[in-house]
Amino acid sequence: MSALSDNALWRGTARVMGVLGIRGRTLVIAIPMLWLLVFFLVPFLVLGRISLAEAIIARPPYSPLWERGPDGALHIIATLDNYRFLLEDALYRNAYLSSIRIAVVSTAFALLIGYPIAYYIARSPEPRRSILLLLVILPFWTSFLLRVYAWMGFLRREGVINNTLMGLGVIDEPLVMMQTDFAVYIGIVYTYLPFMILPLYANLVKLDDALLEAAGDLGASPTVTFFTVTLPLSLPGIVAGSMLVFIPAIGEYVIPALLGGPDTLMIGRVLWDEFFSSRDWPVASAVAIVMLFLVVAPIMWLQSVQNRRELD
């Protein structure tokens, strides 16, 4: 009975779609497209519009997009002042540069640490792989904040690391690790490492053993084989993993706020301060928009590089 009515419903829908000239494929694509439109494009446009407004003390704290003048004509109020302000004030430039630097260095370290781990897992016998992968994902089952706090426990003046080293007599005075860039690097690399390992693993596990044997057979030592065969073939995995680390790292707020010092300048913190401390929404929006382009630019570039490689 229900199957019958389902069937009728389905056929009815299909007929309506046919009349409207919509194909099933369009409908399937429409759902994610609609999702992206509502939850990405619309907020982005709102943000863009606020970034062109002026900050006022009101609710909401920015000027409206248009206003009727005394003559009754419609004036559109839009200004690029906020963007100009970002350029003029060295704070923002430094924050962007420092964010990019921290994200690049963290990504590089995540790659250096993640690649051997992913390689090791991919080369392990099959039953062991799933256990190792589980161990990689396991930290996600506890709260992110908790894990960052745990690192504070390690890095503190009286923390595990300092106590151990002092106890062993390696150092006389506690090392200053908390509230430094070093702690921020540790936090970011630790948090985002699985995002590096998983795509790399997915790539490396597909690597055909016969290719490595062929390289060896043709006279390549294991090291040469790695650099001429394994590494170039894992490039898509490296790109994917680096993206997944770089993008969240550049806008990271919690880690620099908890582990970083007062001079750890990251754009996520600047953004927070503008929105909540200064309540300057237009400048905060401009900061966000610029950051979006800073993130999008390298993705577009990598995409085009990859497309070109595939065309070869």
- What is the nearest approach in angstroms of other proteins to the Cβ of residue 216? 4
User: Does residue 219 belong to the site contacting other proteins (CB under 8 A)?
Assistant: yes
Residue positions counted in the chain: 312
User: Does residue 306 belong to the site contacting other proteins (CB under 8 A)?
Assistant: no
- Choosing from 135, 224, 297, 299, the residue that interacts with other proteins (CB under 8 A) is 224
Q: Which is nearer to other proteins, 213 or 273 (CB)?
A: 213
- What is the nearest approach in angstroms of other proteins to the Cβ of residue 300? 23
- What is the nearest approach in angstroms of other proteins to the Cβ of residue 262? 48
Q: 132-151 in b/e burial notation, b at 16+ Cβ within 10 A?
A: bbeebeeeeeeeeeeebeeb
Q: Which is nearer to other proteins, 90 or 210 (CB)?
A: 210
- What is the nearest approach in angstroms of other proteins to the Cβ of residue 227? 12
CB atoms within 10 A of CB 6: 10
User: Does residue 158 belong to the site contacting other proteins (CB under 8 A)?
Assistant: no
User: Does residue 220 belong to the site contacting other proteins (CB under 8 A)?
Assistant: yes
- Choosing from 14, 45, 77, 214, the residue that interacts with other proteins (CB under 8 A) is 214
Residues near other proteins (CB under 8 A), total: 18
- What is the nearest approach in angstroms of other proteins to the Cβ of residue 115? 18
Q: 248-278 in b/e burial notation, b at 16+ Cβ within 10 A?
A: bbbbbeebbebbbeeebbbbbbbbeebbeee
- Choosing from 2, 143, 221, 277, the residue that interacts with other proteins (CB under 8 A) is 221
Helix (H) or strand (E) holding 90: helix 90-123
In this structure, the strands spanning 74-76 and 66-68 are antiparallel
Q: Which has the closest alpha carbon to 261: 155, 143, 154?
A: 155
Beta carbons of 226 and 162 less than 8 angstroms apart: no
Q: Site residues (CB under 8 A) for other proteins?
A: 208, 210-211, 213-221, 224, 228-229, 232-233, 312
